[in-house]
Structure 1
């Protein structure tokens, strides 16, 4: 049996073929890895673009919805002022004129005074509702004065104490001032109606020329934070919606029977 040995030239050819084969496999594998990497990046980028478009679309719808709400508030406030209040003023004036008639007996005077009392109370209620729907002081004097008047209105009953510190946010547009005003209004309503709070501490701080922090702390009943994350009431949902439009973060801290703290802060640029 004759054994044939490979020549040095044949061995070099085999080694060269193996080396080239390995290089080819490495290059092929690298190419495939790079292809899948960049393909994955493109897919992720497209998904992020789609998500951004969805968020922008949702924000547009949200802004349109809230704008419609504000227009409806304005219409109702004007109807209260122009129609109902005007007619009640006529009733009040007529009742006062009739009371000046010396020919009325005591029962008739008592009835007119009763009508006048109801009319006066209804007028005050309609003015308050109209004011809550469309605070004229906000447009005339700005957010700081409007909030101070809001706190004064809430504390007139002596059942609620509001300690506050309000900075002038001169960088906000009129629309964004209204959003902040509505948020504070809703926070107070939630604290008093649902939390039975008797004391509130509200701070609105100007952090920079474009950022602010709003903090509302109450001594109410508190709530389970995990539950409101799953399902929010209308009031809190309104706060979340306006916070999103302002491009702020909303953080809630609360414990049962230990009150609540809401912090709304502008996102860092």
Structure 2
């Protein structure tokens, strides 16, 4: 019994159907990959947008902080230095008045000396707040030691400082951010936390610089994100971002605060 070959028309039809099927499959695959790619691109764009928005917020926080710092310095200069120098100027003019007694001259001269001395002390304080001389000359560790001494001079807090890192003097610009972070944390510990003891330690673990900070203050509920949205915390976040570091904050009511950050 012989097998008859399929008619030529049927062969052409089969080839045509197979070709159409393959074409439809190709179109479906192209559409599928196109929309999948679009979803991936969309997700990437959303991710980039989030990063840009975060960076924008950080930049705004830095600018706002700088502006607040400028306002504070301008206010200090106006209230302390300018007002005292104005009175010095008035007293200097009084010295030119005729018929001044020796006692009056001595009194005016003493006022001028006292006011000039106070203005000089205040100008030193303002300059010190901008960039402590010890920090500039001897680096971060010495700057923090002096900072601890300044806080302890109020007799309201005891500080414990330990450092295991040999800081590179070339990184002084970056270290200034670390110094400002600790300055902000210590101010918060005393002003808001009512702490009587503060612990600060530096260590290098697996090539990463780590700072551990804690106090024995009243603490707060760190699980509530609203508690970490103050200007001080925005300022700290901005500096951590600049340092390309990370920060973790843990606190409980009546149990102080623990802060760990890398830089």
TM-score, structure 2 length as denominator? 0.70
Structure 1: which 5+ runs fail to align? 1-6, 91-102
- 1:213 equivalent in alignment to 2:204: no
In structure 2, what is the equivalent of residue 36 of structure 1? 35
SS of 2:249's equivalent? strand
Q: Is 1:189 paired with 2:187? A: yes
Q: Which residue of 2 aligns with 1:136?
A: 133
Alpha-carbon distance change, 254 to 46 in structure 1, aligned in 2, over 3 angstroms: closer
1:166-185 aligned within 5 A:
166=163, 167-170=165-168, 173-185=171-183
Name the residue aligned to 2:147: 150
Map residues 79-158 of structure 1 onto 2, 5 A cutoff. Answer: 127-128=124-125, 130-158=127-155
Q: How far did residue 260 of structure 1 move?
A: 1.0
Secondary structure of 2:210's partner? strand
* Residue 242 (structure 2) aligns with: 245
CA displacement at 1:35 relative to structure 2 = 1.8
Deviation per CA, 1:212-261, whole angstroms, max 9, x where unpaired? Answer: 21111111111011334465223222222222222221211111111110
Cα 1:228–1:244 change in 2 (3 A) is same
Aligned residue pairs: how many? 242
Alpha-carbon spacing, 1:75–1:51, altered in 2? closer, same or farther (3 Å): same
How far does residue 175 in structure 1 lie from its aligned partner after superposition? 2.6
Is residue 211–residue 260 contact of structure 2 (8 Å, CA) maintained in 1?
yes
- What do the CA deviations read for 1:115-164 (whole angstroms, capped 9, x no partner)? x9999889767754553344222222211111100101111233311111
The equivalent position to 2:253 in structure 1, one of 231, 252, 256, is 256
Residue 63 of structure 1 deviates from its aligned partner by: 4.6
Per-residue deviation, 1:186? 0.9
Q: Which residue of 1 aligns with 2:230?
A: 233
Normalised by the size of structure 1, how large is the TM-score? 0.69
Unmatched 5+ residue regions in structure 2?
90-101
Deviates more, 1:198-207 or 1:34-43: 34-43
Residue 164 (str. 1) matches residue 146 (str. 2): no
